[in-house]
Amino acid sequence: MKKKMMFLLVGVLLIIAACANNDNGDSKSSLGDYPSKTIEVYVGHGAGGGTDLFARAAAKELEELLGVKVNVVNMEGGAGVVAAENAHKQSPDGYTLVADAAFPITTAAGTNQYGLEGFTPIARFQSDTYALWVDPDKFEDIDDFMEQAKANPNSITVGGTGSMGMDEITVGMINMEADVDLKFIPMEGAGEMHAGLVGGHIDAMVEEFGPADSLYQDESIKPLVVFNDERLDEYPDLPTTVENGWDLVDGNERGFYIHSDADPELIEFLEETMKEAYDSDTYQKYQEDSFLHLREGWMDSEEFTKRTEELIEKFEEVIQNIGD
């Protein structure tokens, strides 16, 4: 009788332990053998650009954490729309992700037919910082630039990469906030834009600090204002847009998206894994080397979704003003 009671007690304890392990185990326990094969990350921009480099840096860390290959697949076209369309045709099983920076813009413009109904933001990795850059001999400071802009409507040219992307949106927001009429000049890439400014073919450009640093170091260009609410430690003498009374601090926000039909537990697992990748020493060094550490980039799925909703609403107004 005592033996039967002992076996019964052991059995009950094993059941309790199993239940406890099931409740307290990591989120991967309910996902079967995921991941068990290669994960593809669709990038809607060309190799070597900011979004491509971010995706590859993150993919390298994810491979180590997940134990499977994470391949970046470039699908240029429509500022990320082609990549989104192709990704949405795939199974929502977590083996196809999208890395993008233009998602709020293409959604606001109506070119991304899926938007937040078709995709769920998993995590934001970067919130890049823009500045307005000029030839040092042409403009003394931001006040001088604005005085000339107001005196010569639609005459001062500001270059940016692509059409109806973050660069054109940014110039549109400057026009709205500063009550000026700057003329946006779309360029095929950063190289053409940089050469255009140094060669005097455009008066200014909106650009991030990393790509512009070499030209800044040799004094070919200089920043007039940083799109931020506080001055940067690295550029303490550089005034901010907020100091000028402009509600303009946005930059490229790069992150990962997944088909909206994906299992919420899968999204949670990927979010947790991406946070580990983001916090890794290797990824943090990449950010610092690329001047992407100037402000915090990380947002979890809930925060990133809310932020994307806010940006879509803001960009809809800007796009309407650009079209008028």
pLDDT tens for the chain, residues 1 to 324: 444 455 445 454 444 444 444 443 444 556 889 999 999 999 988 888 889 999 999 999 999 999 999 999 999 888 889 999 999 999 999 999 999 999 999 999 999 999 999 999 999 999 999 999 999 999 999 999 999 999 999 999 999 987 888 899 999 999 999 999 999 999 887 889 999 999 999 999 999 999 999 999 999 999 999 999 999 998 999 999 999 999 999 999 999 999 999 999 999 999 999 999 999 999 999 999 999 999 999 999 999 999 999 999 999 999 988 866
77, part of any domain? yes
7, part of any domain? no
Cis peptide upstream of residue 35 (ω within 30 degrees of 0): yes
> Are 124 and 148 found together in one domain?
no
Q: Which of 125, 133, 153, 147 is nearest to 43 (CA)?
A: 125
CATH number of the domain at 168, please: 3.40.190.10
CATH number of the domain at 281, please: 3.40.190.150
> Are 101 and 41 found together in one domain?
yes
Instruction: Give the pLDDT confidence score for residue 131 in this predicted structure.
Output: 96
173, part of any domain? yes
> Are 134 and 193 found together in one domain?
yes
> Are 143 and 117 found together in one domain?
no
134, part of any domain? yes
Number of domains forming the structure of the chain: 2
> Are 154 and 121 found together in one domain?
no
> Are 150 and 134 found together in one domain?
yes
Instruction: Give the pLDDT confidence score for residue 324 in this predicted structure.
Output: 65
Cβ proximity of 226 and 232 under 8 Å: yes
13, part of any domain? no
> Are 121 and 140 found together in one domain?
no
**For 69-123, how does the pLDDT look when each residue is reduced to its tens digit (9 = 90+)?**
999 999 988 888 999 999 999 999 999 999 999 999 999 999 999 999 999 999 9
> Are 118 and 137 found together in one domain?
no
Taking CA atoms, 38 is separated from 30, 62, 73, 93, 274, in Å, by: 20, 11, 12, 12, 16
Domain with 124 in it: 36-128+252-323
23, part of any domain? no
Please state, in angstroms and rounded to a whole number, the distance separating the CA atoms of residues 242 and 119. 32
> Are 144 and 78 found together in one domain?
no
171, part of any domain? yes
Please state, in angstroms and rounded to a whole number, the distance separating the CA atoms of residues 88 and 257. 11
Compute the Cα dihedral for 317, 114, 106, 249 and give only its sign.
positive
> Are 303 and 169 found together in one domain?
no
> Are 221 and 134 found together in one domain?
yes
1, part of any domain? no
Please state, in angstroms and rounded to a whole number, the distance separating the CA atoms of residues 66 and 13. 33
Cβ proximity of 44 and 79 under 8 Å: yes
